[in-house]
Amino acid sequence: VRACLRGCLLCPSRLSCSPLLVMGPRMPTAALPCLSLILLLWSQLPGAQGQEFRFGSCRVKGVALQELWKAFWAVKDTVQAQDNVTSVRLLRREVLQDISDAESCHLIHALLKFYLNTVFKNYHKKIVEFRTTVKSFSTLANSFLVIKSQLQPSEENEMSSIRESAHRRFLLVQRAFKQLDIEAALTKAFGEVDILLSWMEKFYQP
């Protein structure tokens, strides 16, 4: 179990370990048992049972929202103090406002994939400089991984308009991100996790 976890999780005690979330779009078959173990252990955490996210027909169980908030609050001041581009916002009102339940599953899937594969993957090198924040960073990254792994957006043809609408919203985030210097963009994105959590909270059933 310990060996599996060392290969899957961001390890605050081993800053050089390779997290599962940075393996790229195609997850190796050998990593799948590790992901299953993460999901199992996560569901046993205190306060996690009986709580779920409901993004339309997509259900996510075993994640305690208060733990995500706690982890972000621990790094908020450190990260947001590094954000010097105050005139830009990635998660704008046009991205998160007036979203249908069906659309929410597609959008959160795209956003979490973006945070895992782009933001957390690359910002990990930066967060290591602030050693007191590594544990909280790991909690957020692994929580996002658990949530994304349970999302199953519908691929039905009649849902194409919903997928396209969610994709257009996500493109607003991606384009704004690419317009910034990469270091500034990563800091901006990570500093806006509180905006993302506030939106996710609307779909949370304690």
**In the structure encoding, which two tokens stand for residue 175, read together?**
């384009």
Question: Which among 71, 87, 77 has a CA at the least distance from the CA of 143?
Answer: 71
Query: Is the CA virtual torsion 29, 4, 115, 66 positive or negative?
Result: positive
Enter the tokens of residue 35: 């992901």
Rounded percentage of the chain residues whose pLDDT exceeds 70 = 72
Structural domain boundaries enclosing 94: 2-205
Nearest to 113 by CA among 10, 190, 24, 53: 24
Domain CATH number, residue 52: 1.20.1250.10
Q: What is the pLDDT of residue 126?
A: 76
Q: Round the average pLDDT of the chain to a whole number and report it.
A: 79
Lowest mean pLDDT among 53-57, 76-80, 108-112, 129-133: 129-133
Please tell me the least confidently modeled range out of 23-27, 52-56, 60-64, 116-120.
Answer: 23-27
Scanning the structure block, which residue is given the tokens 């967060």? 127
Q: What is the pTM of this model?
A: 0.77
Asked if 19 and 8 touch (Cβ cutoff 8 Å), the reply is: yes
When pLDDT is cut at 50, 70 and 90, the band that residue 66 belongs to is very high
Q: How confident is the model at residue 40 (pLDDT cuts 50, 70, 90)?
A: very low
Which one has a higher pLDDT value, 123 or 30?
Answer: 123
How many structural domains comprise the chain?
A: 1
- Residue 143 makes CB contacts below 8 A (sequence gap 6+) with 42, 63, 67, 68, 71
Neighbours of 14 (CB within 10 A): 10
E-state strands within 46-185: 52-55, 58-61
CB 70 within 8 A of CB 175: no
